[in-house]
Amino acid sequence: MTAVPRTPLLPLDDALAQLLAYATPLTEEQSVPVGDADGRVLATDVVSALHVPPHDNSSMDGYALRCDDVAAAGSLLPVSQRIAAGASGDVLLAGTAARIFTGAPVPVGVDAVVMQEDCTALPADAGQYGLPSVRVNAQPQAGQNIRRAGEDVARGDVVLVRGQRLGPAELGLAASIGMAHLAVVRRPRVALFSTGDELVMPGAVAPQDMLPGAIYNSNRYFLSALLRRMGCVVSDLGIVPDQRAATVDALRTAAQSHDVILTSGGVSVGEEDHIKPAVQTLGTLDLWQIAMKPGKPFAYGRVADAHFLGLPGNPVSSFVTFLVLVRPFLLHLQGMHDVAMKTQAARADFAWAKPDKRREFLRVRRNADGGLDLFPNQSSGVLTSAVWGDGLVDNPSARAIVPGDMVRYLSFSELLA
């Protein structure tokens, strides 16, 4: 009997490019208060209606003056006014200085602010005209310690762009130009379920009462958390038994009211792996089996109008494929432009003598010397490696690593943001 040739595994970069092409961005917008927009993706450009700062202002506590009035260090000037932040000063009289505080508007006539540490304040009885005076102990330069109107943002500037994911700095910038609400892309609605008769929910059975072969469903918890970090609204549909009909029913129900269906387990080629044929019964399976380790059984397809993303059941495989494939898919679905993984060059302080023919993602942690240590057990079922580690080494196929090699490092702090 002639053997059926195996379909070649799809290179990871090709799989990611196809995934992003399938992820047509959502078009529905929502208006949300700026304070509630953290992690959301902008639906429209944000344009400033004013200068920031709105007027020339002092960047220091000190004395505002004209440089021409300070002939040399040690010059004495009467202090004609006091200007605090939020106040508006008068035109500066020639030959005088103004006591000024950080953020206060610089009055007309001023061309420099000398910080108070370079000045000596004198009481009224020591100065001219019964006014307090200041001895300027440093020769000022025109423009020093003055923040010019619009030097941060000019009126009409696009300060935040459509497709930008919002973080704390972006929210502060939006508030600085007076924005109370922002137009953002609607959150993707994601249905999540796991497959496997061996799965037990924590709390349902005590550890000492677990049957042989039973395992707690860890994937449900970290996948739900990851989805929410990616800005999704999650419907947790629990555990689906290893039955073809039950799997078809779960997929059909999930597709009715969700943009994305995310499953864990059941996408391999075993007799009890029903996800792949169930998806094909209801729709199409467009990607399956990726040349990466861990995570080969990853799958993408469509069920009615919903995207289907199938992750492997082993927890590390599920975790890594989410970060590498699902994360950019979900961000692109929300209209985000730059979803590429950002690697850093780092030194390997370990050996990897037997590389796989697939592209590998190794769990590592930075050490005190700035290099990377390898978790000793790289099995796809060892979730402690993801807790111990602070990132992944993205290792090309068939590449051995010796200590001192520079490798591509992916930080969890960025991938989980």
Q: Which carries the bigger pLDDT value, residue 62 or residue 214?
A: 62
**β-bridge mates for residue 119, sequence order:** 136
Digit-coded pLDDT (tens) for 307-319: 999 999 899 999 9
pLDDT tens for each residue of 176-217 = 999 999 999 999 999 999 888 888 888 889 999 999 988 888
- The answer, yes or no, to whether residue 270 has pLDDT greater than 90, is no
Q: Is the pLDDT of residue 257 over 60?
A: yes
Predicted confidence band of residue 355 (pLDDT cuts 50, 70, 90): very high
Sorted by where each begins, the domain ranges of the chain are 12-26+187-333, 29-52+151-185, 57-147, 344-415
Fold of 57-147: Molybdopterin biosynthesis moeA protein; domain 3 (2.170.190)
- 215 or 222, higher pLDDT: 222
In this prediction, residue 3 carries a pLDDT of 46
CB 59 within 8 A of CB 147: yes
Determine the pLDDT at residue 4. 42
pLDDT of residue 105: 96
Which numeric CATH code is attached to 29-52+151-185? Answer: 3.90.105.10
Mean predicted confidence (pLDDT) in 385-401: 97
Q: What letter represents residue 268's amino acid?
A: S
Query: Which pLDDT band holds residue 2 (cuts at 50, 70, 90)?
Result: very low
Does 1 score more than 70 pLDDT? no
Asked if residue 78 lies in contact with residue 44, where contact means CB atoms within 8 angstroms, the answer is no
pLDDT score of 104 more than 60: yes
Q: Which of 4-18, 169-183, 275-289 has the highest mean pLDDT?
A: 169-183
Q: Which CATH class is domain 12-26+187-333?
A: alpha beta
Task: Report pLDDT for 127.
Answer: 53
CATH 2.40.340.10 fits 344-415, yes or no: yes
154-158, 274-278, 309-313: segment of lowest average pLDDT:
274-278
Global pTM exceeds 0.75? yes
Give the model's pLDDT for residue 269. 56
